Amino acid sequence: MSHKQGLRYELAPDAGQAVLMGRHCGLSRVVENFCLETVRKKWAQRKAEETYGITGDDLTKVPWSAPALEKEWRAKHPDLFPWFGEGKLSSRIPKEACRVRAAGFSNYLKSRQGKRKGQRMGFPTWRRRKDGSRFRYDADRARPLDARTVRLPAIGDVAVREDMSWLTGRMTTGQARILGATIREQAGRWWVSFQVEVDRDEINERHRVAADAPKCGIDLGLKTFAVIRNCDGTREEIHAPKPLKAALRALKRANRKLSGSKEGSKNRDKAVRRVGRLHLRVADRRKDFLHKTTTRLTRTKSAIAVETLHVKGMVKNRRLSRAVSDAGFGEFVRQLEYKARWYGSRIWKADRWFPSSKRCGHCHRVNRSLALADRTWVCAGCGTVHDRDDNAAGNLLEAMLADPTA
């Protein structure tokens, strides 16, 4: 069975290749902004025409789709952006930039009409240089040549710092094919991310969770990242590295040096790179922790009960927002869900209003007065002393086992 997944590898471009990749990032940003400006102008024109009484096919057509946006780009770029044809840039980058914008417009319209799940999507905004440098290739136009080299159209053969044998071996046997590739720059370093359709049956079967593996409930928190209660009565605690908290002192120092440097100076460039490297290190430490933890849990637990946390509401608390963002609760649950499908585990999510912390695990009496600062509490009904997190994990496990649909 084929699965879609992403694989990221760090590139090692030479100076000339890095410059070319930077130009392609700029091209992608220009095309995305051109598409946004075109849609805004034509939409405004259409609204104005409606007030004049114009109807039907006489109204200005708004180019919402990728083919329509590509047509607008091909018609306008010789006059507006003559450098595109002179700079030997890949013609595939504008095509993918139009697709990205079209997807944004589609999400906005579906969200506005109530046809899209999740939070409401706003109208796409301008791509700015500080929003990140990236560009995309469609299909397998960017592809590995061997375990240490990637061929990028209009750029050349770029060395890779990591071994890609896992991907190249499966491409040779027909077990994997590339659907697209994204090139991204962060803190002066370059990565290629391949979107791959791969046959994972053999891999998943090899790591499939045992049929008699324990079921568990997981309570997520800030002091202790996760408290796990297993169905055999055992208990486990997982402590997060809290990478942002650990890097705050260095980040403050680096940002002070950045704010005191002169615009356009070499020292400012060095300070910008220093801040970028620190943020990249924080993100990498968090990703490493989340991936290792979720992989271990989905390979060793046959069923996992988790909370449905309103993370967007939690970060509105100014005292907790930094710690909540540093923990990565949403990404943790997302990874659990797709890895559980890989390894044969099951994820059961409690209702958002399920009182996992406030309900007594013995008599099921709900303590409405329980405050966030109360780490232990005594049940007024049966007198049982509860550890807040352990009790919540036990209640989640019990609720999952009692649910006939779980």
Residues 185-197 have pLDDT tens digits of 998 899 999 999 9
pLDDT computed for residue 52 by the predictor: 86
Candidates 80, 45, 46, 38; CA nearest to 63 is 38
DSSP labels, 84-133: HHHTT--THHHHHHHHHHHHHHHHHHHHHTT-S-SSPPPPP----GGG-E
Cα–Cα distances in angstroms (integers) from residue 296 to residues 35, 198, 272, 290, 392, in the given order: 44, 22, 37, 10, 21
Residues 59-108 have pLDDT tens digits of 889 999 999 999 999 999 999 999 998 878 999 999 999 999 999 999 99
Cα–Cα distances in angstroms (integers) from residue 148 to residues 13, 20, 207, in the given order: 12, 20, 27
Single-letter amino acid, residue 45: Q
Ranking 61-65, 138-142, 308-312 by mean pLDDT, the lowest is: 308-312
Which residues, 6+ apart, have CB-to-CB distance to 289 below 8 Å? 240, 241, 243
Token pair recorded at residue 322: 């930094």
The vertex-240 CA angle with 235 and 241, nearest 5°, equals 145
As a whole number of angstroms, the distance between CA 286 and CA 269 comes to 26
Residues 218-242 have pLDDT tens digits of 999 999 999 999 998 899 999 999 9
pLDDT at 313 over 90: no
- Tell me the residue length of the chain: 406
Could you tell me the sign of the dihedral formed by the alpha carbons of 296, 299, 236, 337, in that order? positive
Candidates 322, 332, 317, 340; CA nearest to 225 is 332
Token pair recorded at residue 317: 């608390």
Instruction: Give 281's pLDDT tier (boundaries 50, 70, 90).
Output: very high
Residues 24-48 have pLDDT tens digits of 999 999 999 999 999 999 999 999 9
pLDDT at 352 over 90: no
Q: Report yes or no: 374 and 388 within 8 Å, Cβ to Cβ.
A: yes
As a whole number of angstroms, the distance between CA 212 and CA 225 comes to 26
pLDDT computed for residue 366 by the predictor: 87
pLDDT computed for residue 254 by the predictor: 95
3-class secondary-structure state, position 226: strand
The DSSP letter of residue 58 is G
Mean pLDDT of 127-147: 90
- The torsion angle over the Cα atoms of residues 287, 289, 292 and 295, rounded to 10 degrees, is -70
pLDDT computed for residue 243 by the predictor: 95
Which stretch of DSSP H or E encloses residue 199?
A: strand 189-199
Q: Report yes or no: 345 and 301 within 8 Å, Cβ to Cβ.
A: yes
The widest CA-to-CA distance across the chain, in whole angstroms, is: 80
Which stretch of DSSP H or E encloses residue 185?
A: strand 176-186
pLDDT at 118 over 80: no
Q: Report yes or no: 8 and 189 within 8 Å, Cβ to Cβ.
A: no
Residues 144-194 have pLDDT tens digits of 999 999 999 999 999 999 999 999 999 999 999 999 999 999 988 999 999
Token pair recorded at residue 227: 């408290």
pLDDT computed for residue 114 by the predictor: 87
pLDDT at 51 over 90: no
